[in-house]
């Protein structure tokens, strides 16, 4: 199907790496390494943020942790939009249809602005009520509600920054968003303690300061990337000659919705798991919050490598080079598999120290360490699942990962998380066992769907 956007003169891809002019491994690394640097600094930011919020107490950690799970849930539609944008831009760029790239970007940013307004409204009116509905104590809900409302009111800058960064990556230019995100995250790290605890004329905002630091730094990043696009030295443009086309938005959402559902199922499982964990008390919520933050750090390199694999798959399907697409996935599996194996060993053997670092009170240590000891032996399977999922999403075959995620997390993980703690008499460890079983199921389903090969034939 042809994208019905009015054509503008082709733009020379000055900063991009043309498809097929590098080895597959080199192409993968050119895209993945800058993203990995950005993600590494993001991981440092997560550590710094959690460290300073942790100085406010276990209830503050629990409130912010609940808020972050809700933010991930509310962002599911945008995650799908971002995935679809990458698939369409990568294919258009791989096919050397440069005139379509700018039009796709403009339509995606319009859709992103709509969802930003929707999420801001939810944050303004319902933030505290949502936290309370999850079973939070009044103190935890107070921390979480204040953090969530400020975060969602400013989420528009994060959404548009995310879409723009992914668009750069889709045309092979991961270096520019990396530089911007390095600047953004350094500013965020500096602002965190300043706005949380205050200094001089700057008042102490508490947990709200953490949200303000994130929103403010991301707004600056968005301005910087827009400036680069307006400079005219990339294949990305905001050309007015690309008229608004509602029919393309329909096609964009046709690819986006299954990925949004997939992300929604993942986020819903987080919320339901958080509700189950909350039954075991604030210390359990705090421990789980710290553990999933550590897990997010472990996933950061994988997201970079998987994103690069998705871009290679999209570009090379557009260029009719399926052999290069499959080769890119194989290299991605080897790279992330090795990284995740090392990370799993570190987390397993230093679990108590890692949890204790973020909660000096020690109330979270036993439960958090138990989580890491149970889950980390299966990190390698999780790494494979992530790469295969991103690869099929990059081809536009978003329904396959959606199916695997729904089965594993909703039909397997949640029922078992409710049943196993009492059935096995293992308490909260039963919840961790449910997560392990879900990882195994998702790994098996995605492996089967990838090997079947139908994702290679999806037409955008």
Nearest Cα to 435, choosing from 403, 402, 405, 412? Answer: 412
Q: Across all residues in the chain, what is the average pLDDT?
A: 86
pLDDT of residue 23: 85
Q: CA–CA separation, 105 vs 237, rounded Å? A: 8
Q: Determine which helix (DSSP H) or strand (DSSP E) holds 312, and give its type and residue range.
A: helix 282-318
Given pLDDT bands bounded at 50, 70 and 90, which one contains residue 37? Answer: confident
Q: Sign of dihedral through CA atoms 419, 423, 424, 428?
A: positive
pTM: 0.78
Residue 239 has pLDDT above 60, yes or no: yes
Residue of higher predicted confidence among 4 and 264? 264
Q: Is the predicted pLDDT of residue 249 greater than 90, yes or no?
A: no
Do 342 and 380 contact (CB within 8 A), yes or no?
no
CA dist 235 and 390 (Å) reads 23
86 vs 93: CA distance, rounded Å: 10
The string of pLDDT tens digits covering residues 38-82 is: 878 777 777 788 788 888 888 888 888 788 877 877 777 788 898
Stated length of the chain: 460
State the pLDDT confidence band at 240, using cuts at 50, 70 and 90: low
């Amino acid at each position: 199907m042809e994208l019905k956007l009015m054509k503008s003169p082709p733009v020379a891809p000055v900063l991009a790496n043309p498809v097929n002019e590098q080895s597959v491994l080199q192409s993968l690394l050119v895209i993945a390494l800058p993203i990995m640097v950005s993600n590494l600094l993001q991981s440092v930011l997560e550590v710094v943020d959690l460290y300073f919020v942790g100085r406010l107490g276990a209830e503050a950690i629990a409130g912010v942790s609940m808020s972050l799970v809700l933010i991930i849930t509310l962002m599911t539609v945008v995650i799908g939009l971002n995935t679809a944008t990458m698939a369409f831009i990568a294919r258009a760029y791989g096919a050397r249809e440069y005139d379509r790239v700018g039009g796709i970007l403009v339509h995606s940013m319009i859709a992103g602005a709509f969802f930003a307004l929707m999420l801001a409204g939810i944050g303004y009116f319902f933030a505290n009520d949502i936290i309370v509905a999850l079973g939070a104590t009044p103190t935890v809900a107070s921390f979480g509600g204040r953090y969530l409302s400020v975060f969602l009111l400013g989420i528009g800058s994060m959404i548009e920054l995310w879409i723009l960064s992914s668009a750069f990556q889709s045309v092979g230019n991961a270096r520019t968003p990396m530089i911007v995100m390095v600047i953004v995250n350094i500013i965020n790290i500096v602002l965190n303690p300043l706005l949380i605890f205050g200094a001089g004329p700057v008042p102490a905002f508490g947990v709200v300061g953490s949200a303000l630091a994130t929103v403010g730094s991301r707004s600056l990043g968005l301005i910087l990337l827009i400036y680069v696009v307006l400079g005219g030295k990339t294949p990305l443009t905001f050309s007015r000659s690309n008229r608004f086309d509602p029919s393309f938005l329909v096609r964009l959402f046709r690819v986006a919705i299954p990925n949004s559902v997939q992300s929604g199922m993942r986020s819903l499982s987080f919320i339901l798991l958080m509700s189950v964990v909350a039954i075991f008390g604030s210390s359990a919520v705090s421990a789980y919050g710290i553990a999933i933050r550590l897990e997010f750090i472990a996933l950061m390199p994988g997201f970079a490598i998987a994103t690069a694999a998705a871009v290679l798959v999209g570009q090379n399907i557009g260029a009719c080079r399926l052999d290069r697409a499959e080769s890119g996935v194989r290299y991605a599996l080897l790279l992330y598999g090795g990284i995740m194996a090392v990370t799993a060993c570190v987390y397993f053997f230093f679990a108590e120290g890692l949890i204790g670092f973020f909660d000096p009170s020690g109330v979270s240590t036993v439960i958090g360490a138990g989580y890491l000891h149970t889950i980390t032996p299966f990190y390698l399977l999780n790494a494979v699942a992530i790469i295969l999922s991103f690869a099929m999403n990059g081809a536009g075959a978003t329904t396959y990962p959606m199916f695997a995620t729904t089965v594993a997390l909703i039909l397997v993980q949640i029922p078992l998380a409710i049943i196993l703690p009492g059935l096995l008499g293992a308490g909260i460890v039963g919840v961790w066992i449910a997560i392990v079983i879900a990882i195994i199921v998702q790994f098996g389903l995605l492996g089967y769907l990838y090997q079947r090969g139908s994702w290679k034939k999806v037409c955008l």
